Amino acid sequence: MDPALLDSGLAAALGLRFDAVGADEVVISWTVDERHLQPYGVVHGGVYCAVNETAASVAGSLWFGDRGRAVGVSNTTDFLRQAELGTDLTATASPVHRGRLQQLWSVETHDGDSRLVARGQVRLQNLPVD
């Protein structure tokens, strides 16, 4: 995967930092700023969904490699604790299942005090090269 791709698109717009990138784990961190907030001053749930899909898709694509592409088909995220402006967050994607046709990834987001803030799972479809 071209590293420049990680610093583009939605990841760049959200200010995400890729701390670890591999086929078995992707770690993304960010500091909550105005871009991430909903009108009530806490992180918008869609940010967690976007981070989860980004982390799982990057890892899943690296694992699937030259065989084709891996694309998201399902994203379920539970929001467990509020995070406010200035909070440092870290999301870690780990594989649950990696099969011939699909993958399932778990993504946990913790705050700077190691408290679980959000947890999600992302199902990826493996699209083999024709």
pLDDT classification of 2: cutoffs 50, 70, 90? low
- Predicted TM-score of the model (pTM): 0.93
Q: In the predicted model, what is the mean pLDDT of residues 102-129?
A: 97
The residue whose two tokens read 């699909």 is 102
pLDDT classification of 3: cutoffs 50, 70, 90? low
State the fold for domain 3-128. Answer: Thiol Ester Dehydrase; Chain A (3.10.129)
pLDDT surpasses 90 at 51? yes
- 3-state DSSP assignment of residue 80: coil
